[in-house]
Amino acid sequence: MACLCEQVAGTDIEVSPTCIDHLWIFQNLEAEEIEALSREALRKKSTTGQALLLQGDPTDEMFLIKGGRVKLSKVLEVGTELTLDIRKAGDFVGENMFSEEGHYPVSAYCLEDTLSCGFSRSQFEQLVLQHPEVGMQIIKNLSERNTWLTRRLGSLAVTNIEDRL
């Protein structure tokens, strides 16, 4: 199946070859499930300065950045804005949608014209109801990611720099 994002981007935005099936959250899905996800994905073209998501807004969408760059920032209670990360084509934003926390902890602003491909919460829930294997595999992938992060955090807790390396 050809990437539909290239049609939406036109010649304005260089599109990454990374697609939904390359994201760790969707690893090990069958071809039929990947095709269903790709077919239903929302493609969104955003301009420089436009917000993909805002800190404090309900976690209603998640996006794969297909082209462009996005700044993740957080405004602290004292009003200071911290830039936490710059995401590029092939990266993922809005993964908080999988949690029940309810609100985005950061904002994501386009640093240049950006093309994203993703899902709304309700749309994704419908996809999982139609393809339960997708939900089961995501649970497995999240569990594996949690294990990996726990191990990584444990290695950072070692006080001796030589042991950490």
Q: How many domains does the chain have?
A: 1
pLDDT at 108: 95
Task: Please report whether residue 29 resides in a domain.
Answer: yes
* pLDDT tens string 80-106: 999 999 999 888 898 888 777 789 999
Range of the domain at 66: 16-153
Per the domain annotation, does 9 fall within a domain? no
Report pLDDT digits (tens) over 17-35: 667 777 888 889 888 888 8
From the list 129, 117, 2, 120, the residue with the least C-alpha distance to 58 is 120
Cα-based angle 120, 126, 129 (whole degrees, multiple of 5): 140
List, for the chain, all residue ranges whose pLDDT scores fall below the cut of 50: 1
Q: What is the pLDDT of residue 80?
A: 92
Q: What pLDDT, on the 0 to 100 scale, is given for residue 163?
A: 65
Assign residue 107 the CATH number of its domain.
2.60.120.10
